[in-house]
Amino acid sequence: MPLEQFCTKSSCFFCLMTEPDSSARRATIKEYLKGVPFLDDEELILVVSGLWNVAMTRPDDEELPPLGIFQCMADLINRAIHDRTWLLIHQNIYIPYYAAHIIGSYTMNKVDFAVKAVESGVIPPLLELLRGKMSWVEQRVAIRALGHLASYERTFAPLAVYEDEVVTLAMNLASSCLEQVYSMFVGVKDRRKRLKYHCDLLTRGVGGVETENRKAEEWASQLQCWSIHLLNCFAVKERSISLICKQEFLKELSEMWGGLVNHSSPAGVGLIRILCYSKVGRENISKSRYVVENLCKLSRSSDDWQYMGIDCLLLLLKDPDTSNRARCNLLLRDPDSAISDATRALCLSSPPNSHANSLWTRSQAYDMKGMAKESLMDCILFVNVCIRSKVDDRVKLPYYAVRMISQQMDSTWLFRAAQLKALSKQPEKAKEPNENSKSSTRGHINADMMRTQVQNKSYISALSTILEEPFAGKDGSGRKMMERGEARNKSL
């Protein structure tokens, strides 16, 4: 028996949907949708859930989008946000979720539908949901819809008007959503204390606590991954890279994954790879040892997104400014290549010889080759750069640098050769007290010498990193006199 024979209403949405005449059906549906936001009875939730079912099963159907469905959904979200009394009567609490979901479903595949949605004014109400005017459940569908709008070239610009806020909200949501869902839902053990409409939306009224928790985990993962997707849409256009590349967020991003419930999403590493395509992104990622180590772990795992971790590392290595190739060569026990790369980096630094990491790397490489004097000079200059980079007067020298300086000052002690020669002539038992005595003496000498060297050592533009100890006299006048004397002796 036809449905209309059971319906007693003169204007029933479901009867209108079954009208065989397409022209009459579209005209009546268009007129009906204009009045949907003003419905104040139980019919509203039935209509909206029916529209949601159509959008879910037929997202590419071209009948409803031109008839004003986007304007209708935007008006419903606005009313829910600004009219709390209306929101809490009947079953209107479900309306914002369904409305945002309908927008997201219709804009998922077709750019023309997305353009129509933007022209209908869906962005402001979706942003209100994204700001947290309701709950994480509505945030999930709002960011899904905004992500679809951001993925099209024709609808990106209207959303980019809110760029800073959208990017910041997406970053905060990606970082905090798991904790938020746990504290507000999964961690609430007493089912009676959970919001009923959350439970109904998650399970469609079927299933107990285990089903709710499983769906909540799935939705939380989707919320995080869709937040990252929205950031991807800006990053791929090299927009807001500096904002996204905050060190704390990058650390959190490197740990984000879709989980077993959402394994099809690359999650955090997907965004990191996009950031690695930009100069600013590579520079910021290379500064975080934590992020690089996580990329290395991913590259050595059986994760489906292992290749993305490898891509990120290759992009960092191919950039001379972020490759840190000298350090890699040092770890590979290739000191000559490490010295070459570190020297190149020091020449390119501004002012020359002022890049602390390269100085320390080259000092270690020289030490590996047994070149104590060169290692000592680089290490002293490294300490000097560290001191000059401090903003306050409280300077704490790196212990490893002090240890290297002490070691190399022992090796380059002026009397080292004479001491070794003398010790080689002494009986074995006689060497020990003399050695202890000499070490004690050198300890006092080295401490004073190290303070003097660090005070005098400076990175001066266009000068070598190895500076000689100045002779007595102001402005090196003693040295100049000595050099002139040596020149006269040679001429004679």
| pLDDT tens for each residue of 62-116 | 999 999 999 999 999 999 999 999 999 889 999 999 999 999 999 999 999 999 9
CA dist 268 and 258 (Å) reads 8
Residue 476 binned pLDDT confidence (cut-offs 50, 70, 90):
very low
SS3 414: coil
Residue 403 predicted with pLDDT over 70 = yes
Confidence of residue 438 (pLDDT cuts 50, 70, 90): very low
Burial annotation 351-387 (CB, 10 A radius, 16+ → b, else e): ebbbbbebbbbbbbbbbbeebbebbbbbbbbbbbbbe
Report the C-alpha gap between 172 and 134 in whole angstroms: 16
- C-alpha distances (whole Å) from 99 to each of 49, 51, 105, 190, 294 are 9, 9, 10, 29, 39
Region 236-263 average pLDDT = 90
Q: Where are the domains of the chain?
A: 3-236+244-253, 345-413+441-464
The whole-model pTM stands at: 0.72
pLDDT band, residue 475 (cuts 50/70/90): very low
The model's pLDDT over 361-384, given as tens digits with 9 standing for 90+, comes to 999 999 999 998 999 999 999 988
* CA distance linking residue 273 with residue 109, whole number of Å: 24
Burial (CB < 10 A; 0-12, 13-18, 19+), residue 142, is buried
DSSP letter assigned to residue 83: -
End-to-end CA distance of the chain: 127
pLDDT at 457 over 60: no
Q: For residues 167 and 234, is the Cβ–Cβ distance under 8 A?
A: yes
- Exposure string (b/e) for 230-253, b if CB count within 10 Å is 16 or more? bbbbbbeeeebbebbbeeebbebb
For the residues 410-425, what does the mean pLDDT come to? 84
